[in-house]
Structure 1
Amino acid sequence: MRVLRNILVLVTLGTLLFSCGDDPIPKPQGELRLDYPQANYKSLSEQCPYVFDTNTEAEVKLKDDCSMVIEYPQMNASIFITYKKVHKDLDVLLNDAQKLTYEHVAKADNITEQPFVNPREGVYGMFYTISGNAASNSQFYLTDSTSHFVTGSLYFKAKPNYDSILPAAVYLENDIRKIMESFSWKEAN
């Protein structure tokens, strides 16, 4: 019994002696580094009444009604593009596009509107950036104001956490701007 007690005392003293050391030093604060490839674009020309440039890193899935999903698998994100023919209902389509954007106001910290006008190509629209933990971080619409109407929305396949997805959201906002700037209608107005 006494031997066991002596061994226990020696183990306890040894642990105390060897566990003491230099004061702990905190690790330097690390920053998450997300590198995305340099954006390269190609023209997307399907059997639809419009054409625009898309990122070569994206996968385009076209639907029968000229709507499409532009997927970014490495970012777990998609841009949903919807096409509608205008039938004397441009006001309704514009109101629906604006309403869809402002449905995010409950979770958004800020919604910024940027008008888009390209009279040479007959393309007019609006680009919305949505900051905060909203479901969509960017939305837009484009029209020729007489025959065609296109809307687009960016969604991530993850719970909205603006701080975490911000680098990817900024990268994809640039892609959306490229879509809008290169957008043209195939038929003359």
Structure 2
Amino acid sequence: MLTKYFQFLFFTIISICVVSCKDDVLPKPKAYLSLDYPEPRYVPYDKTCGYNFDYNTLGKVVDNGKCNFSIEYPKLKATVYLNYKPVNKNIEALLRDAQKLTYEHVIKADGISEQPYTNKERKAYGMFYEVGGNAASQSQFYLTDSTKHFLVGSVYFYAKPNFDSVLPAAEYIKNDLRALMESLKWK
């Protein structure tokens, strides 16, 4: 009777050992989100407004009236808003409003980087802003010829701001904003 007990105990212990023998659980290694975006292809956009520019064909330009446009990026879930205002001896107020728009994000931003932009040949002067952190808009700019034209641009995503999640798309669109600024021509 004792041998049956030991046999039962032996098989039970062996069964537990066999069933419980698994590979050690290891945490998953850190990974980076791999998003592939197409190589940008820029084409001119020219309407009867005071300016024209090149835009990435991944986006769709929508005329919002009064020389205001939006460039929608459905695949990236983002929109670039372009707001035009004529300069009528109000350049200081327009500059102040453009800077105020950017610095409203300072509450959520980790930092705001200002990069001046000057193109004397095209009479385009302005500032490009990169906003770090969980701000609603990661990139903004303004351009002016300081006598007739003033343009403000900003990008917004259709999601709650989470800088880590939108970083690849934000970088992609940031490059498109720079290309737009560099191609802009006043009429």
Amino acid in structure 2 at the alignment position of 1:70: I
- Match of 2:7? none
Matches within 5 A, 1:49-128: 49-128=50-129
Q: Are positions 1:37 and 2:33 aligned together? A: no
Give the drift of 1:19: 2.9
Amino acid at match of 1:41: Y
Aligned to 1:136, what secondary structure does the other structure show? coil
Deviations 1:119-143 (A, max 9, x none): 1011111000000001110110001
Code of the residue aligned with 2:21 in structure 1: it is G
Deviation at 1:30, TM superposition (A): 3.2
Between the aligned residues of both structures, percent identity stands at 52
* TM-score in terms of structure 1 length: 0.88
Alpha-carbon deviation of 1:49?
1.1
1:63 Cα shift? 1.9
> Which residue number in structure 1 is paired with residue 5 of structure 2?
none
What's 1:136 paired with?
137
Normalising by structure 2, report the TM-score.
0.88
Equivalents in 2 of 1:15, 1:64: separation in Å?
76
Instruction: List aligned pairs for 1:178-189, cutoff 5 A.
Output: 178-186=179-187
Instruction: Give the structure 1 partner of residue 154 of structure 2.
Output: 153
How many Å apart are 1:14 and its aligned residue? 9.6
Task: State the alpha-carbon separation in 1 of the partners of residues 149 and 32 from structure 2.
Answer: 45
Aligned residues: CA RMSD: 1.7
Q: Following the alignment from structure 1 to structure 2, what is the Cα–Cα distance between the partners of residues 29 and 79?
A: 32
Deviation at 1:24, TM superposition (A): 2.4
Structure 1 equivalent of residue 21 of structure 2:
21
The equivalent residue for 2:8 is none
Change (3 A) 1:64 1:39: same
**What is the alpha-carbon distance in structure 1 between the residues aligned to residue 36 and residue 19 of structure 2?**
41
Post-superposition offset of 1:28: 4.1
When residues 119 and 75 of structure 1 are mapped into structure 2, their CA distance, relative to the original with a 3 A threshold, is: same
The residue aligned with 1:3 is: none
After TM superposition, where is structure 1 displaced by more than 4 Å over at least 4 residues in a row? 12-15
